[in-house]
Each structure stands twice: as C-alpha cells, then as structure tokens.
C-alpha cells in the first residue's frame, strides 16, 4: 500500500498527538502498548490500528512511506502480540483477529527489514538457548515421522492445487525471470543433474525425495538408477504410482524409510529440501551417513533453505507449519561435510529464485483459495497465505537463504574442471 | 618413477629380508628406524635408502607400485627425520642431505595420499594446540610486515623469472587445460571482475594487491577506480611504476600499508591470496573491516588457499617459505562473513587450477634454475623446487584447496540472477 504525502503527514500528526484526531492529548495505555510493540519490532514503517480506531505509526517519516497497516480486533490480541509477537501474529492473523491494510507481503518485508539483530550478548545467548532447547526436542526417527506427517501428508490434492505438475515443493531455478514455474522446476532438476554430472548407469541415493520428481527425472533423462527415501507415506505412494505409469519402476525405487537407514554405496548422494528438517543436533550423523554411502569418486549435493546467522525459525512457522524445522547457516552446512573430509566444490545461493518460486505458488494458491477453503476452512487458508507470504518476504529481504552445495571426497580428482558445462545448451531431451 | 614388476618383486624380497641382498637376516637398527618413519608417514609406497645402501619399502605391494625413493645421506639426517619429518625433510632436501630417486612431485603426492588423518582425540588436540600457539605468535602489524618482507621482497627479478608477464602470484583460471599461463592469469582477473560485476566508475578496495596486476586490470578494462593495499615495498614500487607507464595512475592508487588501515566506503572489496597471511586470530577483525568499508549494495570477493580440516601449514613451509601462514577451511572463511551479516552468494573451488598453475611455475622455474642459482645458491634452488613441487602435490591430492567466495550484504538484492554471465563471451577488450 502506498500513501501520498498528505496522508502520511496526517498520520504523523495523529501519531504526534497520540492517536487519531478523536483521541485525547495524553496517549492511552493501548497507544503506549502499541508503540512499545512497534519499538520491539524495530520500528518498521507500519500503522497499528485498534478496535476503537486509535492508531500509531512510529517508523515512518517523510523519507519512508508506510508499508501497510495492521488492524487489531481486541485487547486480548494486543496483549498476546506484546508477549510473543512472532508466535501470536500468525495465530491472530489465522483466526481473523488481525486484518491487514494493504499488501501482506509488503508489510512483512517492512517488518523483516527493520528487525533488530540480536546484538546484545544476552539476546544472542537467549537465541542459542532456544535453539538448543529446540534441538533437545529434536528429530528422532519417530519425531521426524510425526513432523513430516503433519506437513507433507496434508493431502496430495491440496498441494496439487498450487504446485507445478510434477509437485516439486522446493526452490525452482529460473534461467531468466520470465521462465514459467513448470520450466523452472525442470531447470532446477537439470541443474542438479548437471552439477552431479550424472551419466547413464550411475547409482544415486536421494535423501528426502518429496513426490519423487527429481528421482524420476534422473532416471528418465539421465539414465541413473535411483533409490529415493522419504518418510511421508502419501508422497511415496504418489511417487511410486508415477514411476509405474512412466515405466521407470525398474530404475527408481521409492523407499518409505528414514534417510538414517540408507545402506549401500552410490555414485551420487543428493538431498533437496530435507536438511531443514534434520536439525543441527543430527548434522554429524548426516555427515557420517554420507561418508558411509558415497563411492570413492562419488559426488554429492545438498540443497537447503538456510540463513546467515543461527536463529530458530519463526515460532509460529515451527508451531503451525514446520514442526522441528531449522534452516542452517552455510557455516553449519560446511560443518556437515568438512569434518568427514569432503571438499566443497561449489556453492550457489538461489535466495531470489526461492522468492520468485514463492510468488508463483502464492498466486496459484490465491487462485485456488475457494477450493482450499472447501477442503479445509478459512483459518487454514489464512494460515497458508501467511506462511507463503512470510516465506516470500523472508527470501526477498535476506532473512532466509537458499544454499546448494556440491561436494566430493577431498582426494577425488573426478571433479568438474570449470562450471561452464552448467551454462551450455542442454543435451538431454526433456520429456513430460 | 615407474618400476616394472620384476624390480618391484626384487624390492619386496629385499624388504622381506630386512634390506638389500647384502644385509644380514636380522634387520639393523637403522632399518627398523626407517620402517618406523615410513609407518609414521602412513606407509606410503616409497623406498628409503641409507648411506650404506640398506633400503626399506613398507607401503608397496603387487597392486601399488612404488612412487619413488629417498636417499638419506647420513645418520643425523635419519634421526632428524624421525623427530620431525615435516620440518626436517625440507631442511635435508635443501641442504642435499636427502636426494630423490624418481620424480619429486610423484613422491610427494604418494606421501600426501597416505598421510594419516589426525583421527585420535590426542592428535586432534595437539593439532589444535599447535594452531593456537601459532596464532599466538600471530600476525600483528609489525609481524605481518616482517613475514611479508621475507617472502615477497626476495626480489622482483627472481619472481619475474618464472611468473607470468604481469606477475600474478596466485592461482590462475584455465577455461580449458591448454590455456597458456599468461591467458589463464588474465582469465582469472576477468572471472573476478565479472563475479563482482564491475562497471565503469565503481570504486574498489583491494586488500593485498601483490604486484598490482588485478588492480590495474580492473582500472584498465572495467573502468574501476581502485585503492590497492600491500605491505611489500618492492611489490608496491613495481605496481606504481606499471600504473604510471600505462597512464592509469589517476585511477589506481597503490598504498604501502596494512589492510587493517583501510578507510572509506567502496562498491567492491576484493582480496586475492592475502587471507593465507592473516591468521584465524584476526578473521573477526577482517570481517569487521569489510563491514566498515563496503557500501550498502557492495559486492565482495575473497580468494584464498584453503583446506578441508583445520591444521597448521607444513612446518618447513612455515619456517622457510611462508612465516605466519595458515590456510583456512571453508567453514572458517564463512565464519569471517556470516557473523557480520554477509550473505555468501557463490563459492568456487579452483583447487585443480592451482595445481596446473604450479605445473607452469615449476616448469618455468626449472628452466631458469641456473639463473636462480647465480642470484642465490643451490640450497635456495632446492628449497624453492621443493616448495613448488610440494604445493603442486598438495593441490593435486586435495591437501590444499582454493576457495573463491563472492558475497554481499544479507539485505542487498543487487546480486546476480544466475552465474550464466560468467560463461558468456567476454565483452571487455583484453589489452596487454
């Protein structure tokens, strides 16, 4: 939402007098609480408006137009926001106790851009504590199953409404910004296959295969023999059915099991969008597993949402959307590989590609919102709108990153000479 | 050196009987000491021969041919090797107390390939201790000046004998393996300029500029305005003279000062081959300096020799060649950037390009060895032969890595959309 200067000046006047024109000169308690809340958030240029029409802006001035507004329905919501804004904003938006004025993504981006870094030793310490408490709750085999079930088994019909035809639920790769989502998901799979330099007959193990698009792509277009692991029952069933239809079930095996039970030796290890669910407490274990299952001259690829500084995922996301999730820093990802003697060959940060992927998903989701509402209910629609919008805002503002790491054993010289082959016209035939 | 099977069998027979055919059945003390030495080194398939003709091989069998031999001139050298092989091998080779049978690079590669990882907690602890002792001695401003002076002020004439015409003393980039060294050094500079997306008028600060090739290239071919820092007096004098001849002295300023004294704000920060001399104890300081001098939408690039697991440089290299040097792991390099809120956009590992660069340097050095001997003496020639050969072997076997990291501020969206532009035909005119 954009305001013109006259509007802005009026808002600032109201702000200076403690609220709307109708308010008394002494700011009300609620007004002071709203200001405190905005200050806690780093004074983003947004307007808070109460049930009674009182409103506050702290972070806008002549140079910074306000990015949108929040309308808070009642006192209980305001108080909850004061106690734990990260958690209760999502809860209140989902239930309708908060309404947005203007564009949700723009508003969230403004909040992210102004977020104060946890710069005092105390707040860094608290962050670390929260993180370790979170790991403590951890992702044991059974917790992992439960976490994954809650998100990925929502129903293939639901995801089918807004994902691409092959149901890729990870960051796409857009060779140019006007690439379609369908093309970009295929381009992502080709980018990975090319980074791994897959050749016919190569054996691949995939940890966390989603609906199986990448495993099928590797078998269909690169002639690889793939064993793909996933603990989501619905996803595995879908992937198996698709492989059967494509008559690839001789070359792709979908295994309903935790990646920690991978056995055997493979020419390539690949994991796309699983690391977020592993948790730093299990990174050493993952490193040892990759070491155990990768051939001497093997190649590996880790693709994961990440962040720049260690911090737990947004509390509401952890509660409602991704239980047990944690996005690693690049330093933490490297810490999975280097202690096992792996050499990182190539890191590509695809942050803005995930923002664009999310733009596509959000648009498709909004187009299908009536169907989603029929399948679930309005709070579900609102929660998913917030999740997709918040993720888009987080990638756009650098709160989240997307790291793709290619690696090999330290002593292996079976590594690409340059990366030029990734940018030459594709030799493989890209099928349906 | 290659042996045929008959030779190998003969060697093994001699080994089984404890030495050459002339030896008694009970192995001599020296023989047992040689075996202990080889075992300490991880039983590489090499032959040790003593002053009296006694010889030992422990690591070769029918599957592994021996990679070469060492001839040890006297008992004192054998004992020194037992005490500190990493340090005294170099000393003894330099003085001629060790002679090599076969190819020096192949022999060193065999030693590196068989080196035991420091896998016990005790040896890991010792490594850590050595590393911290080393940092303690550290690279304060004055120590840095002394360290750099010892290596880089050996004389421009000496380096001119075997470097490329522009005197680039860092890893080159070979678009294909048959690229010449001259072309590859220019290609490296272009790769860096393209990663940084330099445009005319951009301001650049370079920390550790060597003989100024990159700074001059940026000004000459990309129209950048460059401030380049170096504490080596001879290098700075050379760089200034070259800039003047090219009439670029209005656009490139060479400053004889430590990077820690960089002031101002720049569109790009670049450092090629300096980080090795900074020392982990100063990484935080470097991170803060980059944060202080990089514009909001600036881009940065760090190019450094690295390694997979933290360990001090070879003791002899540290004593004779690079006092105070330490090659960081990728994790440590990331640790310079992430705590300051920088987002790593791209990491490229150019390890095998450094091996090829060193092949060129070594060949040129050998061609110029009589001139080097006239400038210095035979031990100097031998020490530099060992240093270049050992570095080549270390990059070829993965003991050393070469990381090139591109980064920007976490919130900056002024980042390249893909890396395809790095692999498109060059638009700039590449001059002399």
- Please name the residues in contact with A120: beta carbons below 8 A apart, sequence gap of 6 or more: none
Report pLDDT for A10: 46
* Confidence band of B149 (pLDDT split at 50, 70, 90): low
Higher-confidence residue: B221 or A23? Answer: B221
Instruction: Name the residue of chain B whose CA is nearest to A395's CA.
Output: B411
Residue B55 has, within 13 A of its CA and on its CB side, a CA count of 19
Share of chain B above pLDDT 90, in %: 72
Cα–Cα distance between A188 and A357 in angstroms, integer? Answer: 11
Higher-confidence residue: A295 or B10? Answer: A295
Number of CB pairs < 8 Å for A and B? 113
Instruction: Name the residue of chain A whose CA is nearest to B173's CA.
Output: A418
Residue B85 has, within 13 A of its CA and on its CB side, a CA count of 16
Class of the CATH-defined domain B5-114:
alpha beta
Q: Which of A124, A171, A327, A347 to mutate to test the interface with B (most CBs of B within 10 A)?
A: A347
**Overall average pLDDT of the B17-40 stretch:** 74
Q: ipTM score of the complex?
A: 0.88
Q: Is the pLDDT of residue B12 over 50?
A: no
Cα–Cα distance between B182 and A405 in angstroms, integer? Answer: 31
User: Chain B residues within 8 A (CB-CB) of chain A?
Assistant: 113, 117, 173-177, 308-309, 329-331, 334-335, 338-339, 341-349, 351-352, 396-398, 401, 403, 409-413, 415, 417-420, 422-424
C-alpha pair distances (Å), B211 with each of A6, A35, B196, B248: 58, 57, 21, 15
Residue showing tokens 């055919």: B21
| Most distant pair of Cα atoms in chain A: their distance | 78
Contact A331 B331 (CB under 8 A): yes
Contact B308 A410 (CB under 8 A): yes
Report pLDDT for A83: 87
Instruction: Name the residue of chain B whose CA is nearest to A418's CA.
Output: B175
C-alpha pair distances (Å), B252 with each of B117, B210, B221, B345, B378: 45, 14, 12, 27, 39
Residue B187 has, within 13 A of its CA and on its CB side, a CA count of 22
Report pLDDT for B327: 96
Among candidates B113, B351, B410 on the partner chain, residue whose Cβ is nearest the Cβ of A308: B410
* Confidence band of B138 (pLDDT split at 50, 70, 90): very low
pLDDT in tens, A55-100: 999 876 755 788 899 999 999 999 999 988 888 999 999 999 999 9
Q: What is the CA radius of gyration of chain B?
A: 24
Architecture of the domain delimited by A141-423:
3-Layer(aba) Sandwich (3.40)
pLDDT in tens, B363-378: 999 999 999 999 999 9
Contact A85, A65 (CB under 8 A): no
Q: What is the CA radius of gyration of chain A?
A: 24
Higher-confidence residue: B148 or B41? Answer: B41
Report pLDDT for A116: 67
Among candidates A334, A348, A397 on the partner chain, residue whose Cβ is nearest the Cβ of B411: A397
With CA atoms as reference, report the closest residue to B382 among B365, B358, B396: B365
Report pLDDT for A129: 45
Report pLDDT for B135: 43
Three-state secondary structure call for residue A3: coil
Report pLDDT for B195: 98
Report pLDDT for A150: 63
Cα–Cα distance between A23 and B153 in angstroms, integer? Answer: 75
pLDDT in tens, B153-202: 678 899 999 999 999 999 999 999 999 999 999 999 999 999 999 999 99
Contact A330 B341 (CB under 8 A): no
Q: Which of B347, B350, B393 to mutate to test the interface with A (most CBs of A within 10 A)?
A: B347
Cα–Cα distance between B407 and B390 in angstroms, integer? Answer: 31
pTM summary value:
0.89
Kindly list the residues from chain A whose CB atom is less than 8 angstroms away from the CB atom of residue B331. Answer: 331, 334-335, 338
pLDDT in tens, B335-357: 999 999 999 999 999 999 999 99
Cα–Cα distance between B164 and B161 in angstroms, integer? Answer: 9
Q: Which residues are paired to B300 by β-bridges?
A: B269, B407
- CB atoms under 10 Å from CB of A153, counted, come to 13
Report pLDDT for B425: 84
- Ranges of chain A whose pLDDT falls below 70: 1-25, 60, 62-63, 116-141, 143-153, 427-432
- CA-CA-CA-CA torsion sign (A156, A162, A166, A169): negative
Cα–Cα distance between B249 and B232 in angstroms, integer? Answer: 19
Contact A334, A430 (CB under 8 A): no
Report pLDDT for B426: 75
Report pLDDT for A67: 86
C-alpha pair distances (Å), B283 with each of A385, B289, B333: 42, 10, 8
The domain ranges of chain B are 5-114, 141-423
């Amino acid at each position: 939402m954009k305001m013109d200067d006259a509007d802005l000046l009026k808002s600032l006047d109201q702000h200076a007098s403690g609220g709307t024109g109708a308010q008394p000169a002494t700011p009300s308690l609620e007004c002071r609480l709203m200001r405190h809340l905005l200050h806690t958030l780093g004074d983003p240029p947004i307007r808070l408006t109460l049930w009674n029409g009182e409103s506050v802006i702290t972070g806008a001035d002549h140079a910074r137009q306000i990015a949108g507004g929040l309308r808070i329905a009642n006192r209980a919501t305001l108080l909850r926001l004061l106690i734990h804004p990260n958690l209760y904003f999502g809860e209140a938006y989902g239930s309708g106790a908060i309404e947005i004025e203007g564009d949700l993504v723009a508003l969230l981006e403004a909040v992210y851009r102004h977020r104060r870094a946890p710069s005092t030793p105390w707040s860094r310490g608290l962050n670390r504590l929260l993180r370790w408490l979170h790991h403590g709750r951890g992702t044991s085999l059974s917790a992992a199953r439960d976490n994954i079930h809650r998100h990925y088994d929502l129903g293939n019909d639901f995801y089918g409404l807004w994902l691409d035809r092959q149901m890729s639920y990870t960051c796409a790769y857009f060779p140019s910004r006007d690439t379609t989502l369908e093309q970009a998901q295929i381009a992502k799979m080709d980018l990975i296959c090319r980074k791994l330099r897959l050749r016919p007959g190569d054996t691949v193990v995939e940890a966390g295969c989603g609906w199986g698009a990448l495993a099928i792509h590797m078998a269909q277009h690169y002639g690889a023999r793939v064993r793909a692991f996933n603990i989501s029952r619905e996803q595995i069933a879908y992937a198996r059915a698709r492989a059967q239809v494509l008559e690839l079930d001789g070359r792709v095996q979908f295994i309903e099991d935790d990646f920690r039970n991978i056995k055997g030796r493979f020419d390539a290890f690949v994991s796309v969008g699983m690391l977020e669910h592993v948790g730093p407490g299990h990174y050493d274990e993952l490193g040892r597993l990759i070491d155990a299952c990768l051939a001497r001259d093997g190649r590996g690829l880790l693709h994961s949402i990440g962040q720049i500084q260690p911090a737990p995922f947004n509390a509401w996301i952890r509660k409602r959307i991704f239980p047990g999730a944690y996005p690693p820093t690049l330093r933490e990802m490297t810490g999975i590989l280097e202690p096992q003697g792996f050499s990182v060959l190539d890191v590509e940060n695809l942050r803005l590609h995930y923002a664009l992927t999310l733009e596509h998903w959000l648009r498709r989701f909004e187009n299908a919102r009536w169907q989603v509402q029929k399948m679930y209910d309005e709070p579900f629609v609102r929660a998913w709108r917030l999740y997709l919008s918040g993720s888009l805002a987080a990638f756009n503002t650098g709160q989240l990153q997307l790291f793709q790491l290619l690696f090999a054993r330290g002593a292996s010289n079976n590594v690409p000479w340059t990366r030029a082959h990734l940018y030459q016209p594709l030799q493989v035939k890209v099928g349906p």
